């Protein structure tokens, strides 16, 4: 049985909301200097690209890569940095661009990690928020959509490196036999 996908948010709805978030961020940071957008790889790369295309002020972009899911639909809770920033965060306004905030454990870890670089400020912009799963006290400043407790793919987010290419966001119910080998 293949993975089951159901559309949750269509391409047009996402594009409209991303434009609104970009406008809010532009209003908040237009007069600021030294703004660094930090994309969390791999899931946020499309969202970050679409957000920064909405901005009309100078800014820098860098990426972090963390691991906490592996090949599962549930976080392990253990966060590892696989790629750190290459641009100094010191004395900059940081805007972390996340695909989804679920338990908040990964983001909480990143906020602590980045705070050690002594930025002027740190804010979070997430496309998707699942506050029902939150395990830490954390509220992103910019939220695209609040969604129910379902596993989602598309618009850069994946399941086992599949479905990142989908323009919309889909609920994914993975094939329960995937990974089982029959001799």
Residues designated catalytic: 102
Structure tokens belonging to residue 125: 């912009």
Structure tokens belonging to residue 11: 């391409």
Secondary structure of the chain as H, E, C letters:
CCCEEEEEECHHHHHHHHHHHHHHHHHHHCCCCCEEEEEEECCCHHHHHHHHCCCCCCCEEEEEEEECCCCCCCCCCCCEEEECCCCCCCCCEEEEEEEEECCCHHHHHHHHHHHCCCCCEEEEEEEEECHHHCCCCCCCCEEEEECCCCCEEECCECECCECCCCCCEEEEECCCCCCCCCC
- CA–CA separation, 128 vs 16, rounded Å? 14
Structure tokens belonging to residue 101: 């905030």
């Amino acid at each position: 049985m293949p993975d089951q996908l159901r559309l949750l948010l269509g391409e047009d709805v996402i594009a409209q909301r991303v434009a609104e978030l970009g406008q809010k961020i532009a209003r908040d940071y237009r007069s600021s200097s030294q703004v660094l957008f930090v994309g969390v790889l791999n899931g946020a790369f499309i969202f970050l690209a679409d957000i920064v295309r909405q901005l009309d002020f100078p800014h820098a972009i860098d990426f972090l890569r963390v691991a906490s899911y592996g090949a599962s639909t549930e976080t392990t809770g253990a966060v590892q940095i696989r790629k750190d920033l290459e641009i100094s965060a010191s004395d900059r306004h940081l805007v972390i661009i996340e695909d989804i905030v679920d338990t908040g454990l990964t983001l909480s870890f990143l906020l602590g990690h980045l705070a050690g670089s002594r930025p002027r400020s740190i804010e979070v912009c997430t496309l998707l928020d699942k506050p029902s799963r939150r395990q830490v006290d954390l509220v992103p400043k910019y939220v695209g959509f609040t969604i129910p407790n379902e596993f989602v793919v598309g618009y850069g987010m994946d399941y086992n490196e599949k479905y990142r290419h989908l323009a919309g966001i889909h609920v994914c119910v993975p094939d329960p036999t995937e990974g089982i080998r029959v001799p």
